A and B are shown apart, each in its own frame.
Chain A
């Protein structure tokens, strides 16, 4: 069964520090990976997508992909209280473009 695994947290990080979120996936054939942010009671919002090994930076966010280790991470620099949310890691699996989600990591930025 194809799965995406995340630590549920909560992960508490002081304001201004770097928050590091991690994810592993089971399907070696997956080529596309995503990080979504979900506030309580709201739907997920796409933050980053990454398709190649290495780092991808967008503002305060950096996604990292290591296909050999089947590992995806998200770094949030200069963490702000507004970054407090649940972060969902997702992977596209199979040929029909389905995206499966991890259970999410709750991030709490401490003011």
Chain B
């Protein structure tokens, strides 16, 4: 499958600081990327859809001013968690959409574990 990378793989920060997470498609161009969040023993929850060159579409209940998404190129999307608080501690995972013929699939990055102290 297609390769998606994320950086950093884990980060610990103090409450009130901002954290940027990068998501890259390594061997393909991704016009659409998705950001998910997963709390322990819970399923993946879609936060937002990131489209290259346009504003992200946020899911209901996700604060767009707190979770800033930038998809400036066909291989890079970033998620910035602004003024992070302990309740933002979670596993953040991006995915990229790959369309090949009739197949339309999503491949996930390895995830970023954020811990806010």
Interface residues in chain A, defined as those with a beta carbon under 8 Å from any beta carbon in chain B: 32, 34, 36, 41-46, 49, 51, 88, 92, 96-104
Contact = CB atoms under 8 A, between A and B. Distances in A.
Given A43-B93, A96-B49, A97-B32, A49 B105 contact: yes
A97 B104 CA distance: 9
Given A32-B104, A96-B49, A42 B110 contact: yes
Contacts, number: 48
B111 A43 contact: yes
A51 B105 CA distance: 11
A99 B57 CA distance: 14
B49 A42 contact: no
A3 to B, nearest CB: 11
Give the interface SS of chain B, mostly helix, strand, loop or mixed.
Answer: strand
Interface residues of B, number: 23
Contacts of B108: 36, 43-46
Interface in B1-42: 1, 32, 34, 42
Interface of B: 1, 32, 34, 42-44, 46, 49, 57, 91, 93, 97, 102-111, 113
Contact of B104 (A41, A44, A92, A104): A92
Contacts of B46: 98-100
A72 B97 CA distance: 22
A97 B97 contact: yes
A96 B105 contact: no
Contacts of A102: 43
A99 B4 CA distance: 17
